[in-house]
A = this chain, B = another copy of it.
Amino acid sequence: MIHEFRSMVAACCVALFGLSCLHGTGGETGMAGALPPSAVTRCLPQQQPLPPSGEGMWPWTSLAGLDEDALRARGLQVALADLWTPGEGGLLQAVAGLEGCSASLVSPDGLMLTNHHCVYTALQRNSSPGNDLIRNGFAAGDRSEELDGKGIRAHVFRRHTDVTQRVLDAVPAGVSDLERTLLIEKAEKAIVAECEAAPHSRCSVYAYNDGLSYVLLETTELTDVRLVVAPPAGLADFGGETDNWHWPRHGTDFALVRAYAAPDGTPAAYSPDNVPYHPPVSLTISMDGVRPGQLVMVAGTPGRTRRYLTSAEVEDGLNWYYPVRARLFEEWIGILRQTCTDVPESCLATAATVKSLNNALTNARGTIAGLARSGVLERKRREEAAWRSWVAETPDRQAQYGRTLDELIAFVISSRAGRDRDLLLGYALWGSHGLRAAWTITKWAREQALPDADREPGYQERDRDRIEADLKAVQGSIHPEADRRVLAMFLARLGELPSAEHIPQLDEALHGDYSAAAIERYLDDLYAHTTLFDLEQRIARFHESIDLLRSSDDAFIRLVLAMTPAIEASREARKARIGALSRLRPPYIESLIAMRGERFYPDANGTPRVTFGTVAGYAPRDGVWYTPFTSLQGLVAKHTGKAPFDAPDDVLAAAARVSSRYRTDTAAGVPLCFLSNCDTTGGNSGSPALDGQGRLVGLNFDRVYENIVGDYGYDPVLSRNIMVDVRAILWYLDEVVHARAILSELGMSPGSVLEGTARQGNW
């Protein structure tokens, strides 16, 4: 579900490092290619031929380099140039970014389709104890009833510009790795500032392969995005955590939102006077669906893959990063669940966090299982041996690349020091709303004291509105008792670190005593002397100068100011790592490209991509074949009346009707979800799935469990993404909530049950 959200680490690094997480955040790119077919692959029944590979998350700007004839042979009917032509745009212009998710414009009046889990926070923020929109769902009767998205921002992509030379020219030889990052950031800030001088532009510079190239991405930012339709979680998230990341799936994880603009058509903040936004392009919806074996494309903004890692980095993932995160998330979830039991008022506030953590936990476990099963580490070592042989073949290669891999691996190993502390610190500053607010406020105030161009990326004037909006919007997610229990866990864990890794200011605050009793005493004091959990007080602090804050008697502000040297040291170390990798990784990637001589796609980095796959089932294990479609009848069969298999009554009543225009023989009745081998990852949530004609047929929302490890390499046998069939969405709009105006806007003729082309079925 949340699955195709970008990961918690991304959120975390915003809090701690103020970096745009769409930048290469270091440490995790490397050796290329598809995973070896695992042991399971041999279980593929003979009668099920492997579909053409869907590998590759292709930048829109690279489509001209693809083999169009081969794609046409697979069923592509629209010209690649019509999908996207640099400088001109194309059909993909209807695909937008949506805060860690993707979305698509599906009407000339700014209606956008995305996942339910991508607007989960907005639903939470619009809920009240008397009306829980997550539980009850929501459908605006008309446009006047559409609800303020409270933080939903959409980015419509306009232009990509290669700025590699300009960025690299800003970095003289011989500077330190930290200096290198700071100089790159400075160059990027200048480029972004120029770009945003044009009205209504929002720009970012993205590093590809840790700095082999840099691209400026120019977007139109839409900040008035309103909730139009969201099904109840009982349908959108049917199966809950049990089914999350798994096939077969029976949820309809969708929501409709609408972008608004000022009356003159330009982007604007929320205002009752705004009017629907008219996008340059919107997608056509197809009722035809797709069948097994047909081509399907998924377009969106995948966040992060790790296809080109070194063996040392895979080792870090397998033996440290994922196991450490899994243990942390387990404890954290346990604390929030216990708090929800003890203090029921906390449940609504912490629901979204529990959902995120659960999602990340399953991801971590799936990655560990997948890495172990696929033998990625052994394969990396074999590939690196092959690379060494290739380099040894000519003196030129030896001269050019001979040391690249050794240097990269040596650096990775050397940079392991302090990683446990840095990870805990990062999550603590995100996980405790007290720490998070105090950090954001004091960091903002410190940067405010500097000229805008000299401030850290993420803390410039251009970021002010977003930061203030976040400080406000987070109110619905705050519960002091839950916050306190989570912070207690982090303090205890920080206290368990070797003393050399302790944070001196915490040792001081706790007098070196990290016992449960001492922590409780300290937290009594901390939470008794803060006003940061109060919305107005928090915003008031945000407007204070750093000098005023330094004299504050707010306990969280005082604690964070005391810890600032340690936090900034950790952040600088990280920037130094990023700088080192931007020096060491690109030549190695260059050698890989030279060695393979194949078409190359860069790791996902949050920039717009498209993947070309085929509708196909798969064999998760010996004796089992997952068929590529599920149906409404399957949902009814799984319904138990107990969460997470508790479908709403109106859905069950509609499902019990004999006839529906949305029935098909692809599934056994009304189709719900389907599988393809498109190459996706977190950030692809909400991505439209298009048929060969470029018509919208589905909505990406997850990957299968066996494909969680796909971030480390594409597996033709097991890499499968999960989409909602658009006919399930239309069925819900038509036969459950009778949203005739919306259906008309989507180009559909509603009312099938009463007057439509219904076929008689045999339920």
- Interface residues of chain A, those whose CB is within 8 Å of chain B, are 38-40, 42-46, 247-250, 617, 619, 621-627, 629-631, 633-638, 665-666, 668-669, 673, 763
> Is B248 a contact partner of A668 (Cβ separation < 8 A)?
no
Partner pick for A626 among B247, B625, B668, CB 8 A cutoff? B625
> Is A633 a contact partner of B45 (Cβ separation < 8 A)?
no
Residue of B nearest to A675 (CB): B623
Partner pick for A621 among B248, B617, B623, B625, CB 8 A cutoff? B248
Nearest Cβ on chain B to A44's Cβ, whole angstroms: 7
Beyond A636-B39, A637-B39, is A45–B621 a contact (Cβ under 8 Å)? no
**Interface-centre pick from A248, A617, A622, A666 (highest chain B CB count, 10 A):** A622
The 16 listed contacts between A and B (C-beta, < 8 Å) are: A42-B633, A42-B763, A43-B631, A44-B668, A247-B623, A248-B621, A248-B622, A249-B623, A250-B622, A622-B637, A622-B668, A623-B627, A623-B634, A623-B673, A624-B625, A624-B626
Measured between beta carbons, the chain B residues less than 8 angstroms from A638 are 621-622
A510, B480: Cα distance in complex, Å: 58
Nearest Cβ on chain B to A656's Cβ, whole angstroms: 11
Residue of B nearest to A45 (CB): B627
Measured between beta carbons, the chain B residues less than 8 angstroms from A247 are 623
Residue of B nearest to A46 (CB): B665
Residue of B nearest to A674 (CB): B623
Residue of B nearest to A669 (CB): B42
A194, B42: Cα distance in complex, Å: 60
Partner pick for A248 among B44, B624, B634, CB 8 A cutoff? B624
Nearest Cβ on chain B to A133's Cβ, whole angstroms: 28
> Is B623 a contact partner of A629 (Cβ separation < 8 A)?
yes
Residue of B nearest to A249 (CB): B623
Measured between beta carbons, the chain B residues less than 8 angstroms from A624 are 248, 624-627
Nearest Cβ on chain B to A295's Cβ, whole angstroms: 19
Residue of B nearest to A637 (CB): B39
Measured between beta carbons, the chain B residues less than 8 angstroms from A626 are 623-625
Interface of A (DSSP majority class): mixed
A93, B288: Cα distance in complex, Å: 58
Nearest Cβ on chain B to A243's Cβ, whole angstroms: 11
Measured between beta carbons, the chain B residues less than 8 angstroms from A43 are 627, 631, 633-634, 637, 668
Nearest Cβ on chain B to A485's Cβ, whole angstroms: 34
Nearest Cβ on chain B to A247's Cβ, whole angstroms: 6
6 tightest A-B CB contacts, nearest first: A622-B634, A248-B623, A42-B668, A39-B637, A623-B630, A625-B625
Measured between beta carbons, the chain B residues less than 8 angstroms from A38 are 637
Measured between beta carbons, the chain B residues less than 8 angstroms from A637 are 38-40, 43, 621-622
Measured between beta carbons, the chain B residues less than 8 angstroms from A666 are 46
A38, B637: Cα distance in complex, Å: 9
A638, B634: Cα distance in complex, Å: 27
Measured between beta carbons, the chain B residues less than 8 angstroms from A40 are 637
Measured between beta carbons, the chain B residues less than 8 angstroms from A630 are 622-623
Partner pick for A627 among B42, B625, B634, B635, CB 8 A cutoff? B625
Residue of B nearest to A38 (CB): B637
Residue of B nearest to A40 (CB): B637
> Is A631 a contact partner of B42 (Cβ separation < 8 A)?
yes
17 more CB-based (< 8 A) A-B contacts, given A42-B633, A617-B625:
A39-B633, A39-B637, A42-B631, A42-B763, A45-B627, A249-B623, A619-B627, A621-B637, A621-B638, A622-B633, A622-B635, A622-B638, A623-B629, A623-B634, A623-B673, A624-B626, A625-B625
Measured between beta carbons, the chain B residues less than 8 angstroms from A763 are 42
**Interface-centre pick from A44, A250, A668 (highest chain B CB count, 10 A):** A668
Residue of B nearest to A761 (CB): B42
Measured between beta carbons, the chain B residues less than 8 angstroms from A39 are 633, 636-637
A635, B42: Cα distance in complex, Å: 12
Residue of B nearest to A617 (CB): B625
A45, B675: Cα distance in complex, Å: 14
Nearest Cβ on chain B to A322's Cβ, whole angstroms: 19
A42, B629: Cα distance in complex, Å: 12
A665, B43: Cα distance in complex, Å: 10
A38, B763: Cα distance in complex, Å: 11
Nearest Cβ on chain B to A634's Cβ, whole angstroms: 2
Nearest Cβ on chain B to A41's Cβ, whole angstroms: 8
A626, B624: Cα distance in complex, Å: 5
A43, B634: Cα distance in complex, Å: 7
Measured between beta carbons, the chain B residues less than 8 angstroms from A45 are 627
Measured between beta carbons, the chain B residues less than 8 angstroms from A673 are 623
Measured between beta carbons, the chain B residues less than 8 angstroms from A621 are 248, 634, 637-638
A629, B622: Cα distance in complex, Å: 8
